[in-house]
Structure 1
Amino acid sequence: MSTKYLKRFFKPDSIAVFGASERDDSMGGVVLQNLLDGGYQGELIVVNAQGYETVRGVPCVKSVSELAKMPDLAIICSPPQTVADIIRKLGAHMVKAALILTGGLSIRDSKTERTLHEEVLDAAHPYGIRILGPDCMGLLVPGSRMNASYSHVNISHGKVAYVGQSGLIGTAMIDWANGQEIGFSHFLTLGESVDVDIPAVIDYLAKDPHTHAILLQMDRMTGSARDFLSALRAASRNKLVLVLKSDVVQDAEHCARLAPGVSDEDLVYDAALRRAGVLRVETSDQLFHALETLSRMKPMRGERLAIVSNGMGPNALATDRLLRGRGQLAPLSEASCEALAALLPDGWNRGNPVDLNADATPERFARALRILVADAAVDTVLVIHAPTHPAPGAETARAVIEVARGTPRNVLSCWMGRATAIAARNHFNTAGIATFITPEEAVDAFLQMVRYRHNQDVMRQTPAPFLQQNSQNHIQARNLVAQALEAGRGFLHHAQACELLDLYGVPVSHSYYADSVEGVVEVAKQLGGSVAVRALHCENVYPFSYDDKVRQRWRDLALDLYSVSEVRHAVTRLEYRVRERFSDDQVMGFCVQQMKRGFQSLQINVGITRDPIFGPLLLFGTGGYTVDVLADRQLMLPPLNQALARTLVQRSRVYDIICENSYQVERDVDQLCDLLIKLSEMVVDLPNIAGLEINPLLLNKRGLLAVDVAVSVAEPVRLAISPYPEHLTETIRLRRSGRKAVLRAIRGEDEPDHLEFYNHLSPESIRMRYFYSRGVPTHQELANWTQIDYDREMAFVVSAPRENGAGNETLAVVRAVTDADNVRSEFSIVIRDDLQGEGVGAVLMHKLIDYCRSRGTLQLYGSTLPVNRGMQTLARKLGFKVRFNAEEDVVEMVMMLNEATEEWQMYRLQS
């Protein structure tokens, strides 16, 4: 994920092209010509072993050793067999960035059993040279007038950065974007990503002030899932991020790599990308339309769409598409209806969509649009134009553009047709207004705007108050897992799995166990009534043990057994079937439960699984013994809070059933959310839990009940999203008052307390912290402050019980934001005015310094106003170097925490 030396790729002062020649089929020659045609202002030189004096007018040398000056960037287009040697020589001469366009490096040598790819990595490693590629199309940076690619055309300057894995999709995107007059700040494909990967590039672009949106095309996941999601989450908080992830072919080898209980890898990527707050698109058409809309959209006010056209046919197409996509038609206000009635012919239906009639003129289009954008119930307007004589395409477009430019609402346009519509669409492109060919495309693009807004809202939802769990129970749960691992088992026995749920507060059906048919009969006599019996063996003690028809878990189960004879007969058959398939040491007896019928129970499937790439996942959906439980499989990455758990429930069919049938919808949903949070805590507390399945989980008017459960254990894996660092929590006492308080990492649930804390600050304290007077923070700002990525940022709060006993209050906060390379971390600290002199500042700063030092951060720094003498005094006592920056009129505080060990780190510290 390191961004070291990436600047040399995007802003090089000098470039050497290896393998360029005058031949028309020379890739290096194409790249060199593109650099020349693009007007690259830096120094250019060619390296070619053929010994040319010049290539396309650029000086040429035969080898690296003949270069008078080493370049910032080396572009390698040489034959595959020469690449590793070139990299080795470049590294020895302190070149730190190499772009490899050569393909074919994945071919394995029959003698050495090594690929050229591996040889390139070995050559680069001793010198720390960064590699972009191989097998990529190159990169284009219009702001630096650099086209270092083999693209057939250049790109115009814009605010969108494109990062792809496929070179051919990249060239197609360039061609389309030029036709739509969309420009780019950066454009590159990564190829095989042997070194420079997606997270590193996203981190670089997220800091680029000229990049407002990032467009990511990916075929596969490479590198660390946590680095990938961390980079995406950081970027999506400040920039629009779109991801085109193609579906994966479901071949036998691929299916073998799926997470247990998951039938489609695509569901996992959906869950991961939603959690990162980005918008995923599945086709190139959707990508183009999303870019068209989202790169030109204004801030969304809401999700209600008004549709207006000069005919009901186009309106019907758009409305049908909107309603099928669960979009919202805007309800027009009475004032809008009256104003439109004065404009439209008699017989108008006084509703949305608005039919301007076939005789509509450009003036009528403009007046109707002006009325709609003034309606408070309308958030976005889609204007559809079908070619008619009274409404010429270009003239009508200019009338619509004039109105659209003067409104804060989003206006989308759809000019149907081709011959007479092209000029109109060009006008919209030039004006920066999204335009489409068909009503369906326009509505799909609007729905993508809505989905993006939903993903952003989910990422910033304020969680419900945090509830402290029973730590003693968690210790017992760890012991259960440890016993299984020490015994060499990959599973918990059924009784242990039930005990595990009970320790986490999940209601479990009472189970009884027997080793023989007669033993089951005796248990059934004692229980009375109807019983269920399961034969336990080495397969069904594991979660998600389904065959191709999802029946394996249920074929060793007998239900609704009333009489003794029924029990004896059914269990005898069970025993026969089990003994036929398994040896004695694989059979584990029988589990007996009373049947749980009645009360209109809803059967649910919920659990934990592991994905090979993204690690632990939570599953939720419909369940039971007779349904295809994989058909309604909703996924989410842990850790969860109340807001995320509710989102997971609402995406399932279970939620629709509850809404239709339950008389206590909120109670039922809250109980399910609490259960999901307990499973999320289990994932964090017990990293050895590889899988857990509760099926069925019954929901009825009595509440929840887990009927059957299976748990598997294995070596721990890392969560894709960093969990809450509970181990950093400690209890302190304020120096002067002796008041007891807790020092801990901030949580998303702290948002209400954080707002109250901010409102307690004096105007002077706010000015000291932010260097200017400012108003009350918005929800988005508070979410950014409290819902942090613990891999990149840390905020410690001091929290204490309120004097009236109503919960806790925040007394002080210290924050550190670390760059992606963990070189420098910027701190800030705020203490409530009435807490001054309690020693809270020193305690918080010591905590932060120890934390950053333990993470390997090299430097901690901050700044304060010259009048803030107290902060300067504290910084000196703590060991910071304090100096006045006259240019910025601030006092800078700097502390070295760890020594730099590499050249790039020293350079970064100096800059």
Structure 2
Amino acid sequence: MSVIHLSSLLSPASVVVLGASDRDGSVGATVWRNLRSRFRGPTFAVNPRLSTLDGEPVHARVADLPQVPELALLCTPPATVPGLIAELARAGTRAAIVMTAGLDAAQKQAALHAARPHRMRLLGPNCIGLLSPKIGLNASFAHTDAQPGPLALVSQSGALLTAVLDWARARQIGFSHLVSLGERMDVDAGDLLDHLASDASTRAILLYLESVEAARKFMSAARAAARNKPVIVVKAGRAGQGMKAAASHTGALAGSDVVIEAAIRRAGMLRVDTLQDLFLAAETLARFAPRGEGRLALMTNGGGAGVLAADAAARVGLELATLSDATLAELDAALPGTWSHGNPVDIIGDAPVARYHTALRTLLAAPEVDAVLFMHAPTAIVRSDEIARACAPLVRSAEGRVMACWLGDPAVAEARRIFEQAGAADYPTPEEAVRAFAMLASYRRNQAQLMEVPSASEYGPPDVAAARRLIGQALADGRELLNETEAKQVLRAYGIPTVPTEATRPSADAAAEAARRLGYPVALKILSPDISHKSDVGGVALGLADEAALCSAVARMLERVGAARPDARLTGFSVQPMAQRPHAQELIVGASIDAGFGPVVMVGRGGTAVEVEADRVIGLPPLNRVLAREMISRTAVARLLAGYRDHPPAQLDAIADVLMAVAQMQADLPELAELDINPLWADEHGVLALDARIRVAASAPAGPAHFAIQPYPADWARRVDWQGTPLCIRPIRPEDEPQHRAFIDHVSADDLRLRFFSVRRELPRREFARLTQIDYGREMAFIAVREGTTPETLGVARAITDPDGIEAEFAVVVRTDLHRQGLGRLLMQQLADYLAARGVQRMVGNVLRENDAMRAMARRMGFDTDPTSSDREMIRVVRLLQAPREASAS
């Protein structure tokens, strides 16, 4: 990933059009006209056929240009593109937009090869271009211009970008940038997310995606961007490609769209289905921020509007605020006796201005109300604009907590304007307002995934060696499928409870002998490397009460399986005692490999109809218990797991631990291609795996290298001796938050000031979550831990690497009572070793000039003072970790 020279792409000082034309309707003519319409920087044209164009000189070659343009727009035939890129790159042009279509693979590679040594960025080919309205830049062949505003749009479809321009212009919606990505030979969505995340002119980022190529890069950029500002996604292809043939139910159910849905949620972004919802969500997220849990009160002067809003809330599963006795009493005192006495709050159609003001003030003051949807239909009793002026101060003081729906058009236009200026988010209908609120609730849930603090699994460390032996033996035997007994042994190696199972020869006598050891009643299942779904061919018999029933079942099973799959090799039977768990719910937990995002985990309702019911939720590893429980909560079967009638609630943590164990298998066992635990029984006693199937592959499709989200780098944990005390210096984990809080309590206010460059008495909870739940793909924090009954964090060294992987900015803090004992240097050295191993070139830091101790340690560790440091209060220190490598824009 890289943000190098993206500012030159989006905000250039000068632009050249290669292929600028005088032919009406051509791309070259349209791009030239659009560029010169409002852009005030120098513009140049290159076309060997022309000498002037619109009164401006036209140059025959790049070499003839009077100055080096920062951005180039290419509208020339495909064969010319690589050579022109080479000329421009050598001259010093920082970025180019290749609008030309039809480049073949060799031409694209040649263009990239010419650009990379000079770090020149390429957008396209086959793209409409981009617009940056703030600087008047229209570097596109779009049919209309855009207004300046706070939204950035990045689209993988050029046609959709032009449709958005038309749609937004009619609605007075403005943009900071609009970018058509085209065929993405260099600049992609991940690069632009990284750039726009820190772009001061962008308040929210809108994405239109059709596919995601570099999943880890995209997820890292998306998670970083979503921490800074709202990121809203329209993803095409929700219908998906349907079920595919696979050895596991998980492989069949984990289609590409549900995986992308999981990725969007995990990254803290919001997915919507339509362009209208895209802008509706952007407006809502930018202007509306309810407090607390988002409990909504409906206020209206007409019962119909309130009913419509309440019905809309019921359809999307949105619970309205329950008004307290105190709030009801206060409203009773102010409203006529015929008011609705509940939520929605109908203040009656003859309401004067004072009644509106009192009702809104009461609802905003109610602790059980987080937000208010203010609905008004115009009447002849009182002017709408008078109501708006009276209530506007309340709206302004309750910043981000009021949604408004002024029903009508000319009669309420001034009232709508007054409320919008006061900060209310405005919607044309009650249903649209409620839909927007539901989007906000989804967004808040997704954001919470970035900040939750997990707890550890209760299963303890797995027996990885035992699992690897089983997989290795299967591969050595030339088998992809583990038999049921082997699969359950792998589960037990990771602490997952399984029903006892014995594998036997394919005979009634052998099966009966196993049943006598296990005890009747038993279940009998066929074992065959060629049969994955045993029940589909009659290969399962349940509740066999005695030996006679077992022998009869063996005969019938061999006959059925032989008729259904005469080609299948029968290696034996598995026999297991019938488990008795009358309250258990049947679940499926699985793992598979997505073509784009790598390993994924699934949970949902299990049993034989799993693919028909399709109640499943996909998650991306690595998982913790919080993320695992969130996955479970989104299944339909979660309502049954919560308990009903005589069924007590199931142990959700036990199910979550199974999900965590499966995710850990994907990290520890690279050969794990597909896994099903179906059914997994879950009840008040915990979980029990009744059946399991595992497919392995010598190509090792799993493992941390294939995760879309970089997992915990456990191999960077080191044990050291410090002042005679054994310490563990390791990467920070999300579950370290409690001990990190205790650590900060041992850091003086002055040390916190030196670390954060401001006076801070304490850190908010959100800040602790951000410090402990990090993206290991671009950030690292090593903590020094004194282990024991209650582990203690003694110090932390942290570095955030730029998206180009060239420079990492560090910070270090040690407990105040442990200064000058070498702990900071230990942490800093491990951090430097880690960054060097990742190929980072420079380690840099900003140090207050008064921080003599930090400056001295930096000198001892080989840091130099940046001679360009001119800040009166701060200096920049730099340590070279390795020689600069050859530039790469990808």
TM > 0.5 fold call? yes
Answer whether contact 1:259 1:611 (CA < 8 A) is retained: no
Whole-angstrom CA distance in 2 between matches of 1:298 and 1:888 = 38
CA shift at 1:361, angstroms?
Answer: 4.4
- 3-state SS, counterpart of residue 251 of structure 2: coil
Identify the residue that residue 831 of structure 2 maps to in structure 1.
848
Whole-angstrom CA distance in 2 between matches of 1:399 and 1:826 = 51
Q: 2:760 aligns with which of 774, 777, 780?
A: 774
Whole-angstrom CA distance in 1 between matches of 2:490 and 2:239 = 38
Q: 2:191 aligns with which of 200, 203, 219?
A: 200
Answer whether contact 1:75 1:101 (CA < 8 A) is retained: yes
Identify the residue that residue 801 of structure 1 maps to in structure 2.
787
- 3-state SS, counterpart of residue 590 of structure 1: strand
- Alignment RMSD (CA, Å): 2.8
Q: 2:879 aligns with which of 866, 885, 895?
A: 895
Deviations 1:552-600 (A, max 9, x none): 3x63212222343432332223223334455778332111112224433
State the one-letter code of the partner of 2:206: L
CA shift at 1:748, angstroms?
Answer: 0.3
CA shift at 1:876, angstroms?
Answer: 1.5
Whole-angstrom CA distance in 2 between matches of 1:63 and 1:675 = 65
Identify the residue that residue 835 of structure 1 maps to in structure 2.
818
Taking the TM superposition and a 5 Å limit, the aligned residue runs for 1:281-300 are 281-298=272-289, 300=291
State the one-letter code of the partner of 2:40: Q
Whole-angstrom CA distance in 1 between matches of 2:865 and 2:457 = 39
Q: 2:593 aligns with which of 601, 604, 610?
A: 610
Whole-angstrom CA distance in 2 between matches of 1:141 and 1:860 = 33
Q: 2:149 aligns with which of 135, 144, 158?
A: 158
Identify the residue that residue 488 of structure 1 maps to in structure 2.
478
Identify the residue that residue 86 of structure 1 maps to in structure 2.
84
Whole-angstrom CA distance in 2 between matches of 1:432 and 1:719 = 42
CA shift at 1:695, angstroms?
Answer: 0.8
Pick which of 578-587 and 165-174 moved more: 578-587
Identify the residue that residue 438 of structure 1 maps to in structure 2.
429
State the one-letter code of the partner of 2:875: V
Q: 2:584 aligns with which of 580, 587, 601?
A: 601
| Total equivalences in the alignment | 881
Identity %: 38
CA shift at 1:663, angstroms?
Answer: 8.0
- 3-state SS, counterpart of residue 660 of structure 1: coil
Pick which of 635-644 and 565-574 moved more: 565-574
CA shift at 1:467, angstroms?
Answer: 6.5
Identify the residue that residue 220 of structure 2 maps to in structure 1.
230
CA shift at 1:31, angstroms?
Answer: 2.5
The reply to whether residue 694 of structure 1 matches residue 684 of structure 2 is: no
Pick which of 322-331 and 391-400 moved more: 391-400
How has the CA–CA distance of structure 1 residues 562 and 341 changed in structure 2, closer, same or farther, with 3 Å as cutoff?
closer
The reply to whether residue 707 of structure 1 matches residue 690 of structure 2 is: yes
Deviations 1:376-420 (A, max 9, x none): 222111111223323545554454444312323421111223454
Q: 1:810 aligns with which of 776, 786, 793?
A: 793
Q: 1:404 aligns with which of 391, 395, 419?
A: 395
The reply to whether residue 219 of structure 1 matches residue 210 of structure 2 is: yes
The reply to whether residue 647 of structure 1 matches residue 635 of structure 2 is: no
CA shift at 1:516, angstroms?
Answer: 2.4
Answer whether contact 1:818 1:825 (CA < 8 A) is retained: yes
Answer whether contact 1:259 1:610 (CA < 8 A) is retained: no
How has the CA–CA distance of structure 1 residues 252 and 670 changed in structure 2, closer, same or farther, with 3 Å as cutoff?
closer
CA shift at 1:605, angstroms?
Answer: 0.9
Deviations 1:821-869 (A, max 9, x none): 0111111111112222432112111101111111110100112223322
Q: 1:270 aligns with which of 216, 239, 261?
A: 261
CA shift at 1:316, angstroms?
Answer: 0.3
- 3-state SS, counterpart of residue 16 of structure 2: strand
Pick which of 257-266 and 856-865 moved more: 257-266
Answer whether contact 1:621 1:629 (CA < 8 A) is retained: no
Identify the residue that residue 466 of structure 2 maps to in structure 1.
476
CA shift at 1:904, angstroms?
Answer: 8.6
The reply to whether residue 319 of structure 1 matches residue 307 of structure 2 is: no
Q: 1:375 aligns with which of 347, 366, 369?
A: 366
Identify the residue that residue 52 of structure 1 maps to in structure 2.
51
Whole-angstrom CA distance in 1 between matches of 2:531 and 2:384 = 67
Pick which of 827-836 and 73-82 moved more: 73-82
Identify the residue that residue 111 of structure 1 maps to in structure 2.
none
Answer whether contact 1:134 1:194 (CA < 8 A) is retained: yes
Whole-angstrom CA distance in 2 between matches of 1:300 and 1:24 = 55
Answer whether contact 2:250 2:674 (CA < 8 A) is retained: no
- 3-state SS, counterpart of residue 260 of structure 1: helix
CA shift at 1:339, angstroms?
Answer: 4.2
How has the CA–CA distance of structure 1 residues 195 and 891 changed in structure 2, closer, same or farther, with 3 Å as cutoff?
closer
- 3-state SS, counterpart of residue 445 of structure 2: helix
The reply to whether residue 132 of structure 1 matches residue 134 of structure 2 is: no
Deviations 1:302-347 (A, max 9, x none): 3111111111101001011113322232233445434433443331
Answer whether contact 1:379 1:409 (CA < 8 A) is retained: no
State the one-letter code of the partner of 2:207: L
- 3-state SS, counterpart of residue 159 of structure 1: strand
Whole-angstrom CA distance in 2 between matches of 1:487 and 1:5 = 53
CA shift at 1:486, angstroms?
Answer: 3.4
Identify the residue that residue 177 of structure 1 maps to in structure 2.
168
- 3-state SS, counterpart of residue 471 of structure 2: helix
The reply to whether residue 747 of structure 1 matches residue 733 of structure 2 is: yes
Whole-angstrom CA distance in 2 between matches of 1:690 and 1:778 = 42
Whole-angstrom CA distance in 2 between matches of 1:704 and 1:487 = 32
Whole-angstrom CA distance in 2 between matches of 1:534 and 1:259 = 21
Deviations 1:105-127 (A, max 9, x none): 4xx6xxxxx67656655665666
Identify the residue that residue 4 of structure 1 maps to in structure 2.
4
Answer whether contact 1:261 1:609 (CA < 8 A) is retained: no
Whole-angstrom CA distance in 1 between matches of 2:225 and 2:646 = 42
Whole-angstrom CA distance in 1 between matches of 2:774 and 2:430 = 40
Whole-angstrom CA distance in 2 between matches of 1:121 and 1:825 = 26
State the one-letter code of the partner of 1:331: T
Query: TM-score by structure 1 length?
Result: 0.91
Answer whether contact 1:21 1:29 (CA < 8 A) is retained: yes
The reply to whether residue 32 of structure 1 matches residue 18 of structure 2 is: no
Whole-angstrom CA distance in 1 between matches of 2:144 and 2:825 = 59
Answer whether contact 2:138 2:145 (CA < 8 A) is retained: yes
Whole-angstrom CA distance in 2 between matches of 1:308 and 1:23 = 59
Structure 2 unaligned runs (5+)?
none
Answer whether contact 1:181 1:429 (CA < 8 A) is retained: no
State the one-letter code of the partner of 1:791: G
Answer whether contact 2:253 2:611 (CA < 8 A) is retained: no
Identify the residue that residue 63 of structure 1 maps to in structure 2.
61
Whole-angstrom CA distance in 1 between matches of 2:640 and 2:142 = 53
Identify the residue that residue 908 of structure 1 maps to in structure 2.
none
CA shift at 1:231, angstroms?
Answer: 0.4
Deviations 1:454-488 (A, max 9, x none): 111122111115779436x2122222223333333
CA shift at 1:33, angstroms?
Answer: 2.4
The reply to whether residue 354 of structure 1 matches residue 342 of structure 2 is: no
Identify the residue that residue 675 of structure 1 maps to in structure 2.
658
Identify the residue that residue 860 of structure 1 maps to in structure 2.
843
Q: 1:190 aligns with which of 181, 186, 189?
A: 181
Whole-angstrom CA distance in 1 between matches of 2:556 and 2:459 = 48
Pick which of 136-145 and 356-365 moved more: 356-365
